[in-house]
């Protein structure tokens, strides 16, 4: 490693304090909802605003050879694209150094209720080392951090291969616009030998974390209709079926109602031995520290015993789950009358083990819900989305060494690897397209950061150190054995 870790950390900290943090504060103020949550995004202009702001910020950085632009394909959300030629390498080594693709996104989840007094989704608040507000940690910082890492490599006498950045604006909707851009930019992307994605979790705020797998995701709408309009429950109940009861019974075909265990074999896989070893290592190291911070209500708690932290980690990384994330046809308790409702629609979100084929899983769910129709109702099942997960290829020795060195230099602790329970569709796309690439999938979404929920925060010291760690990995990639 040719970079001085102390100087690199100092530089990235100063860049964060003086330049990145103010930019993220302004980014948080913009309600740049993802396309699934704001179909009129083009008219509202918020996604355009954040991508143009990030581009303007990038153009002010002192990065030799940087070319940065906003690319817009008709009918799609915009992307921020940047390219930096190789730096600090002998002329004969520039081509062999390879290409690094850095990825992030600028679109956001909806605001959600439940923010603490004094906090809000579009209200940036600095409380100690936490910057609260929607999108700062997921994933507004990524574009800024990626460029700052490249800048640090150049300023501190390091080297890097060709670096390209692809910052999209539809990730929170499942990246529907991304394939069109990957195709459009195929020649300019080339064949990356390293992908750095800054849109993942960290198990704690004390080390560099590498996400080694991601669960897949399918979204299913289950609609149960019994009437064309609601009728008095005293007149009809007992003859007309209750749509909610039918929906409830149908879900029992999918999961055990007592334990939540998924019953369909198509949604299960055997966990690879190397992933089990990672889980056991993290469980031995951290116990239940990764699962303890969930904000349980009084009297509630985990459904997997805290005495078995490895089982908890397996449950959130390599096992399927079902969550009912929304419902139509149910009035609030304050406005609910004695009416037998005409229908119930449930939005079902399935998390899938990383190597399960999402389309096969979706077909299995549909078959289970539609088979043997229950009397008294019409059932409609629509698989709205199906995104398979991702399992990282084996880590090359040079990258394992680089992550360990960068983590020790920036955080003072060794690196760790673990699967994540969430989904990043882009990783599966890239994994299929570039099977020989190495991956560093990392981020700042640590305990309590609550991405997608209320009180989301960006842990600033982690973001600062992570930026320096990425700079060191870029330098190690350029000088790796070839």
What is the DSSP code string of 70-137?
Answer: EE--TTS--EEEEEE--BSS-GGGTTTT-EEEEEEE--B----S-PPTT-BTTB-EEETTEEESTTII
* pLDDT tens readout for residues 442-470: 999 998 899 999 999 999 999 999 999 99
Indicate the burial class of 453 (C-beta count within 10 angstroms; 0-12, 13-18, 19 or more): middle
Together in a domain, 350 and 236: yes
Pair 168, 86 in one domain: yes
177 domain-assigned? yes
Same domain, 347 and 408: no
159 Cβ partners below 8 Å, 6+ apart? 2, 86, 87, 88, 89, 97, 153, 475, 478, 479
Number of domains in the chain: 2
In three-state secondary structure terms, 200 is coil
Q: Is residue 297 part of a domain?
A: no
Q: For residue 192, tell me if it sits in a domain.
A: yes
Residue 231 and residue 344 share a domain: yes
| Inside any domain, residue 244 | yes
Question: Which pLDDT does position 94 carry in this prediction?
Answer: 75
Return mean pLDDT, the chain: 95
Give dist(CA 230, CA 232) in Å, integer. Answer: 7
Q: Please, which pLDDT band fits residue 1 given cuts at 50, 70 and 90?
A: low
Peptide bond into 139 cis (omega under 30): yes
Same domain? 123 vs 76: yes
pLDDT above 90 (res 50): yes
Domain contains 296: no
C-alpha 354/C-alpha 389 separation (Å) is 4
Residues 185 and 254 in one domain: no
Q: Average of pLDDT values for 370-399? A: 94
What residues make up the domain containing 402? 5-214+389-478
Distances in whole angstroms, Cα of residue 132 to Cα of each of 15, 200, 313, 421: 20, 18, 27, 23
Residue 265, phi-psi category: left (phi > 0), alpha (psi -120 to 50), beta (remainder)? alpha
Enter the pTM of the model.
Answer: 0.86
Residue 160: inside a domain, yes or no? yes
In a domain, 411, yes or no: yes
What are 74-130's pLDDT values in tens digits? Answer: 999 999 999 999 999 987 777 788 999 999 999 999 999 999 999 999 999 999 999
3-state secondary structure of 334: coil
Of 387, 407, 431, the one marking the end of a domain is: 387
Distance CA 234, CA 236 (A): 6
CATH of the domain at 183: 3.40.630.10
Q: What is the DSSP letter of 160?
A: B
The CATH number given to whatever domain includes residue 322 is 3.30.70.360
From 59-63, 264-268, 282-286, 323-327, the region with the lowest mean pLDDT: 282-286
Q: Domain boundary at 335, 360, 387, which?
A: 387
How far apart (Å, rounded) are the C-alpha atoms in residues 283 and 274? 14
Residues 62 and 132 in one domain: yes
Note whether residue 95 is domain-resident: yes
Do residue 248 and residue 330 come from a single domain?
yes
89 and 132 in one domain? yes
Contact 32, 46 (CB under 8 A): yes
Q: Are residues 230 and 357 in the same domain?
A: yes
| In a shared domain, residues 135 and 224 | no
- Give tens-digit pLDDT for 334-347: 999 999 999 999 99
Residue 153: predicted pLDDT: 98
- Is 74 found in the same domain as 88? yes
Domain C-terminal end among 360, 387, 414: 387
Contact 132, 464 (CB under 8 A): no
Q: Is the dihedral of CA 299, 305, 309, 314 positive or negative?
A: negative
Distance, CA of 442 to CA of 146 (rounded, Å): 12
Q: What is the pLDDT of residue 343?
A: 98
Reported as a pLDDT band with limits 50, 70 and 90, residue 482 is confident
């Amino acid at each position: 490693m040719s970079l001085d870790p102390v100087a690199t950390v100092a530089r990235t900290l100063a860049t964060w304090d003086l330049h990145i943090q103010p930019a993220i504060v302004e980014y948080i103020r913009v309600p740049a909802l993802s396309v699934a949550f704001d179909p009129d995004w083009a008219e509202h202009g918020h996604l355009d605003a954040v991508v143009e702001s990030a581009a303007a910020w990038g153009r002010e950085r002192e990065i030799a050879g940087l070319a940065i632009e906003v690319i817009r394909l008709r009918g799609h959300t915009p992307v921020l694209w940047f390219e930096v030629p190789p730096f600090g390498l002998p002329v004969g080594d520039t081509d062999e150094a390879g290409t690094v693709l850095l990825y992030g996104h600028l679109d956001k989840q909806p605001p959600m209720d439940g923010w603490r007094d004094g906090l809000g989704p579009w209200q940036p608040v600095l409380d100690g080392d936490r910057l609260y507000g929607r999108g700062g940690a997921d994933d507004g910082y990524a574009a800024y951090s990626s460029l700052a890492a490249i800048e640090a490599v150049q300023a501190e006498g390091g080297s890097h291969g060709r670096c390209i950045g692809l910052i999209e604006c539809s990730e929170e909707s499942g990246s529907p616009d991304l394939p069109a851009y990957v195709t459009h930019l195929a020649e300019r992307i080339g064949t990356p030998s390293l992908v750095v994605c800054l849109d993942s979790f960290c198990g704690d705020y004390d080390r560099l974390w590498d996400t080694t797998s991601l669960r897949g995701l399918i979204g299913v709408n289950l609609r149960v209709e019994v009437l064309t309009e609601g009728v008095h429950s005293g007149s009809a109940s007992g003859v007309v079926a209750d749509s909610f009861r039918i929906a409830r019974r149908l879900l029992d075909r999918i999961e055990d109602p007592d334990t939540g265990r998924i019953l369909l074999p198509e949604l299960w896989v055997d966990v690879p031995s190397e992933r089990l070893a990672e889980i056991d290592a993290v469980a031995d190291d951290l116990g239940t520290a990764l699962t303890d911070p969930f904000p349980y209500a009084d009297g509630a708690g985990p459904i997997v015993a805290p005495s078995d932290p490895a089982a908890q980690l397996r449950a959130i990384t390599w096992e399927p789950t079902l969550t009912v994330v929304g419902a139509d046809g149910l009035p609030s308790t304050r406005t609910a009358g004695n009416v037998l409702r005409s229908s119930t629609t449930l939005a079902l979100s399935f998390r899938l083990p990383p190597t399960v084929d999402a389309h096969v899983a979706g077909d299995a769910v549909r078959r289970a819900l539609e088979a043997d129709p229950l009397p008294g109702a019409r059932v409609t099942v629509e698989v709205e989305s199906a995104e398979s997960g991702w399992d990282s290829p084996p880590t090359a020795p040079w990258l394992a060494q680089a992550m360990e060195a960068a983590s020790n230099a920036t955080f003072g602790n060794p690196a760790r690897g673990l699967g994540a329970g969430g989904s990043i569709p882009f990783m599966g796309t890239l994994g299929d397209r570039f099977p020989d690439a190495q991956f560093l999938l990392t981020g700042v979404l640590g305990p309590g950061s609550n991405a997608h929920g209320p009180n989301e925060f960006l842990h600033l010291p982690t973001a600062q150190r992570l930026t320096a760690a990425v700079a060191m990995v870029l330098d190690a990639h350029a000088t790796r054995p070839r």
